[in-house]
């Protein structure tokens, strides 16, 4: 046993080093490639293909695929650090969704596929799976699927045989193009397919926990992207307050502005702590509570940080030409996806009230599992 333990620890330390290198690499790549011009260009079209190619060159889509399935094998906490970085830069390509889709798909036993990929929130619809003799009918509607124009779509399904996760190429569904409040692609998708049984490599059975994980991983993804975007909004606001002068001095010298910056910092700090905690507890007993805490806390912080940052900037950030909206509109978009604050708070509240006051402290310490 001790020998195995050491091996596991070595492997984890080794991966931490890999993550540090990746964070550095991806940070530099995003800083140089994601300009305001690119973000603006994305608003007129879809994901930026050149950027996708750069991600693929670094094998980033495989970051969270297990090593034995040909991936880099980052765990959820490690992968979330990359996802946060993508939020910081508002990366205009579906890298984040692809990383997690491949994780979910390979975990269910699927083979990694190349190219962009996305997954639908189970709250945005589930596909029905019906056995028709030797054929399998898969049908249903999915609302506001992120980046579904670009590649494969992973969707949760259910039927008499149980739950499944289903991989659909872009050609296998119809879509009505829609955009989020941040102008990211969020098409409404209609699926009606007949597949030959066994639909191996397309429809994979999953259990209830794996189905729930699709929702929870999506919520954690958006939470970490929000943390990254909040940090960027804070950095932009600090910078602007030191450049902008009124009444003969930098506005950062006004106490009212300092206090607004401080309140953004505290909310972002709380969001960051909550999201990090959920990444670390993924796969453990405290996962569901921690994810609910993360999505609820990050969503609440996002609203405050976005509103306060706009107030600090004044009119300039209410324009298309200034960069702040690329981040604040993403915050307004991401907080409502994969369950908004009310959804997750309500879940948490039910769990807490069911357990009663005496359980509250042990729940906070992670001593009691739900």
Partner 1 sequence: MSTDFRFASLQLPPSAIEIRRRIRAFMREELDAGRYDPQISSWNTWDEEFTRRAGEAGFIGMVWPKEYGGSGATDLDRFVVIEEMLAHSAPCFAHWVADRQTGPQILRFGSERIKRTYLPAIAAGRCYAAIGMSEPNSGSDLASVQTRATRCSGGWRINGTKIWTSSAHRAHVMIALVRTAPANGGRHDGLTQLVIDTSVPGITCRPIYNLCGHHDFNEVHFQDYFVPDDAVLGEVGQGWKLVNHELSFERSGPDRYMSDFRLILDMVDRIGNRPDALQSVEVGRLFAHLSALRRMSAGVAGLLAQGQDPYLEAAIVKDLGTSFEQSVPEIARRLIETQPSSEDDDAYGRCYTETRLFAPGYTIRGGTREIMRGVIARGLGVR
Residue 368 interacts with partner 1 (CB under 8 A)? no
Contacts of range 156-159, beta carbons closer than 8 Å, 24 or more positions apart: 156/120, 156/122, 156/126, 156/127, 156/211, 156/214, 157/126, 157/127, 157/128, 157/129, 157/203, 158/126, 158/127, 158/128, 158/129, 158/211, 159/128, 159/129, 159/130, 159/131
Residue 318 interacts with partner 1 (CB under 8 A)? no
Do residues 331 and 229 lie in contact, with contact meaning Cβ atoms separated by under 8 Å? yes
Judged by CB under 8 A, which stretch of 93-101, 118-126, 159-167, 361-369 contacts partner 1? Answer: 361-369
Q: Shortest gap between Cβ of 316 and partner 1 (angstroms)?
A: 18
Residue 252 interacts with partner 1 (CB under 8 A)? yes
Return d(Cα 68, Cα 74) in angstroms, integer: 12
Residue 290 interacts with partner 1 (CB under 8 A)? yes
DSSP state of 251: G
In the numeric block, the tokens 């706009």 are attached to 310
Residue 12 interacts with partner 1 (CB under 8 A)? no
Return d(Cα 264, Cα 62) in angstroms, integer: 34
Nearer to partner 1, 200 or 350 (CB): 350
Residue 296 interacts with partner 1 (CB under 8 A)? yes
Residue 225 interacts with partner 1 (CB under 8 A)? no
CA distances (Å), 109 to each of 4, 77, 209, in order?
25, 21, 15
Residue 113 interacts with partner 1 (CB under 8 A)? no
CA torsion sign, 190 to 50 to 229 to 314?
negative
In the numeric block, the tokens 């001095």 are attached to 249
Pairing outcome for strands 135-146 and 203-206: unpaired
Half-sphere exposure of 114 (CA within 13 A, CB side): 7
Q: Shortest gap between Cβ of 338 and partner 1 (angstroms)?
A: 16
Do residues 26 and 32 lie in contact, with contact meaning Cβ atoms separated by under 8 Å? no
Nearer to partner 1, 83 or 191 (CB): 83
Residue 289 interacts with partner 1 (CB under 8 A)? yes
Residue 293 interacts with partner 1 (CB under 8 A)? yes
**Number of chain residues interacting with partner 1 (CB under 8 A):** 55
Give the one residue of 7, 266, 316, 369 binding partner 1; rule: CB under 8 A.
266
Neighbouring residues of 205: CB distance < 8 A, sequence distance ≥ 6: 108, 161, 162, 163, 164
Pairing outcome for strands 162-168 and 245-246: unpaired
Judged by CB under 8 A, which stretch of 68-76, 161-169, 184-192, 296-304 contacts partner 1? Answer: 296-304
Residue 363 interacts with partner 1 (CB under 8 A)? yes
Judged by CB under 8 A, which stretch of 111-119, 168-176, 183-191, 233-241 contacts partner 1? Answer: 233-241
In the chain, which ranges are continuous DSSP H helix?
2-33, 36-44, 49-57, 76-89, 95-107, 208-243, 255-281, 287-313, 324-334, 341-355, 360-364
Nearer to partner 1, 129 or 271 (CB): 271
Do residues 93 and 35 lie in contact, with contact meaning Cβ atoms separated by under 8 Å? no
CA torsion sign, 370 to 349 to 281 to 98?
positive
Give the one residue of 75, 184, 276, 337 binding partner 1; rule: CB under 8 A.
276
Residue 284 interacts with partner 1 (CB under 8 A)? no
Residue 20 interacts with partner 1 (CB under 8 A)? no
Judged by CB under 8 A, which stretch of 7-15, 42-50, 146-154, 248-256 contacts partner 1? Answer: 248-256
Residue 360 interacts with partner 1 (CB under 8 A)? yes
Judged by CB under 8 A, which stretch of 160-168, 214-222, 274-282, 322-330 contacts partner 1? Answer: 274-282
Residue 270 interacts with partner 1 (CB under 8 A)? yes
Nearer to partner 1, 62 or 312 (CB): 312
Site of interaction with partner 1 (CB under 8 A): 231, 234-235, 238, 241-242, 252-253, 255, 257-259, 261-263, 265-274, 276-277, 280, 289-290, 292-293, 296-297, 300, 341-342, 344-350, 352-354, 356-358, 360-361, 363-365
């Amino acid at each position: 046993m001790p020998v195995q333990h050491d091996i596991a620890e070595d492997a984890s330390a080794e991966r931490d080093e890999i993550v540090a290198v990746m964070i550095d690499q991806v940070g530099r790549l995003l800083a140089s490639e994601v300009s305001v011009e690119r973000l603006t260009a994305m608003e007129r079209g879809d994901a930026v293909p050149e950027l996708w190619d750069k991600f693929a060159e670094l094998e980033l889509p495989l970051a969270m695929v297990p090593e034995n399935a040909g991936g880099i094998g980052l765990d959820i906490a490690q992968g979330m650090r990359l996802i946060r970085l993508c939020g910081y830069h508002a990366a205009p390509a579906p890298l984040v969704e692809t990383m997690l889709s491949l994780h979910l798909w390979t975990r269910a036993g699927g083979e990694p596929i190349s190219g962009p990929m996305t997954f639908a929130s189970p709250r945005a619809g589930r596909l029905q799976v019906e056995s028709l003799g030797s054929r399998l009918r898969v049908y249903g509607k999915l609302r506001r699927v992120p980046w579904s124009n670009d590649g494969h779509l992973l969707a949760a399904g259910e039927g008499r045989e149980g739950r499944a996760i289903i991989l659909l190429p872009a050609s296998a569904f119809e879509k009505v193009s829609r955009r989020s409040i941040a102008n990211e692609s969020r098409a409404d998708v209609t699926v009606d397919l007949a597949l030959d049984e066994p639909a191996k490599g397309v429809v994979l059975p999953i259990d209830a926990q794996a189905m729930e994980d699709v929702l929870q991983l999506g919520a954690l993804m958006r939470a970490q992207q929000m943390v990254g975007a909040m940090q960027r909004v804070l950095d932009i606001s600090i910078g602007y307050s030191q450049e902008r002068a009124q009444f003969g001095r930098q506005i950062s010298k006004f106490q009212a502005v300092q206090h607004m910056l401080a309140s953004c910092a505290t909310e972002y700090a709380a969001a960051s702590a909550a999201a990090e905690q959920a990444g670390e507890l993924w796969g453990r007993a405290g996962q569901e509570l921690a994810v609910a805490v993360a999505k609820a806390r990050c969503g609440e912080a996002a609203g405050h940080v976005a509103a306060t940052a706009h107030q600090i900037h004044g009119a300039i950030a209410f324009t298309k030409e200034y960069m702040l909206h690329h981040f604040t509109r993403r915050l307004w978009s991401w907080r409502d996806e994969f369950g908004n604050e009310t959804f997750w708070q309500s879940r948490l509240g039910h769990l807490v009230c069911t357990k009663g006051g005496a359980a509250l402290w042990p729940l906070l310490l992670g001593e009691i599992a739900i």
